[in-house]
Amino acid sequence: MAALLRTAAALVPPPSSPLSAREPRGRCLRLACSRRAPVRQLRAWPLPTPHVFGRSGGRFRRLSVTEAEEAAQTAAQEDPETEVTGESAADDSAGSTDETPSIIVTTLQSYRVALINDDDAKAAEIESFLLSIEDEKNSLLNKITALDVELATQRERILRISADFDNFRKRTENEKLNMMENVQGELIESFLPVLDNFERAKMQIKVETEGEEKINNSYQSINKQFIEILNSLGVEDVETVGKPFDPMLHEAIMREESSEYEEGIILQEFRKGFKLGERLLRPAMVKVSAGPGPENSGDDDPTVVEDSVAPQKVEDVEEDGFDDGDAE
Amino acid sequence: MAATFCAGPAASAAVNPSSAGCRPQNLTRAAVLSACWRPSRPTPAFVSLRRPNAELRPLRVAAGSGVDPKVVNGEDFPPMKDLIQLYRTAFLEGNEEVLGVVEKAITAVEKEKSTIASQFESITTEITSGKEKFIRLNADLENFRKQTEKDRAKLTSNIRVEVVQSLLPLVDSFEKTNLENTPETEKEQKISASYQGIYKQLVETLRYLGVGVVETVGKPFDPSVHEAISREASMQFKAGIVMHEVRRGFHLKERLLRPATVKVSTGSGKQSASS
The C-alpha atoms of residue A49 and residue B123 are separated, in whole angstroms, by 71
- B204 within a domain of the structure (yes/no): no
- A170 within a domain of the structure (yes/no): yes
From A6-10, A70-74, A242-246, A269-273, the region with the lowest mean pLDDT? A6-10
The C-alpha atoms of residue A323 and residue A17 are separated, in whole angstroms, by 107
How far off is chain A from B229, nearest CA to CA, in Å? 26
The C-alpha atoms of residue A96 and residue B4 are separated, in whole angstroms, by 48
How much is the pLDDT for A57? 42
Report how many domains make up chain B.
2
Report how many domains make up chain A.
2
- B132 within a domain of the structure (yes/no): yes
The verdict on B114 touching A (C-beta cutoff 8 Å) is yes
Does A114 share its domain with A177? yes
- A268 within a domain of the structure (yes/no): yes
List all residues of chain B from 207 to 226 with a beta carbon under 8 Å from chain A. Answer: 208-209
Task: Decide which of A130, A157, A188 is a domain's last residue.
Answer: A188
Q: A18 CB contacts (<8 Å, ≥6 apart)?
A: A99
- B172 within a domain of the structure (yes/no): no
How far off is chain B from A251, nearest CA to CA, in Å? 25
- B241 within a domain of the structure (yes/no): yes
Q: Which of B225, B179, B226 is nearest to B199 (CA)?
A: B179
pLDDT in 10s for each residue of chain B, 275 residues: 433 333 444 444 444 444 444 344 444 444 444 444 444 444 444 444 444 444 444 433 344 444 444 344 444 678 888 889 889 889 888 988 898 989 889 989 888 888 889 989 898 898 888 988 889 788 988 888 788 888 878 788 888 787 888 888 988 898 888 887 778 787 788 788 888 899 888 988 987 888 898 989 998 999 999 989 887 888 888 789 998 888 889 988 777 888 999 989 988 765 444 44
List all residues of chain A from 107 to 166 with a beta carbon under 8 Å from chain B. Answer: 108, 111-112, 115, 117-120, 127, 130-131, 133-134, 136-137, 140-141, 143-144, 147-148, 150-151, 154-155, 157-158, 161-162, 164-165
- A134 within a domain of the structure (yes/no): yes
- A312 within a domain of the structure (yes/no): no
Task: Decide which of B146, B167, B188 is a domain's last residue.
Answer: B167
How much is the pLDDT for B248? 80
CATH code, domain carrying A269? 2.30.22.10
How far off is chain B from A14, nearest CA to CA, in Å? 4
- A138 within a domain of the structure (yes/no): yes
CA-to-CA dists, residue A204 to A171, A191, A324, angstroms: 49, 20, 10
Does B160 share its domain with B98? yes
- B273 within a domain of the structure (yes/no): no
The C-alpha atoms of residue B198 and residue A220 are separated, in whole angstroms, by 11
- B101 within a domain of the structure (yes/no): yes
- A150 within a domain of the structure (yes/no): yes
CATH code, domain carrying B217? 2.30.22.10
Range of the structural domain that residue B93 is part of: 80-167
What's the pLDDT tens digit per position in B180-204? 777 878 778 878 888 889 988 898 8
List all residues of chain B from 224 to 263 with a beta carbon under 8 Å from chain A. Answer: none
Task: Decide which of B138, B167, B196 is a domain's last residue.
Answer: B167
Does B85 share its domain with B163? yes
**Across all residues in chain A, what is the average pLDDT?**
68
Does B91 share its domain with B156? yes
Three-class SS state of B258: strand
- A141 within a domain of the structure (yes/no): yes
- A246 within a domain of the structure (yes/no): yes
What's the pLDDT tens digit per position in A121-143? 989 989 899 989 888 888 988 88
- B48 within a domain of the structure (yes/no): no
Does B90 share its domain with B156? yes
Range of the structural domain that residue A145 is part of: 103-188
Does B85 share its domain with B148? yes
Pairing of strands A274-276, B226-232: unpaired
Which of B138, B155, B166 is the closest to A232 by Cβ? B166
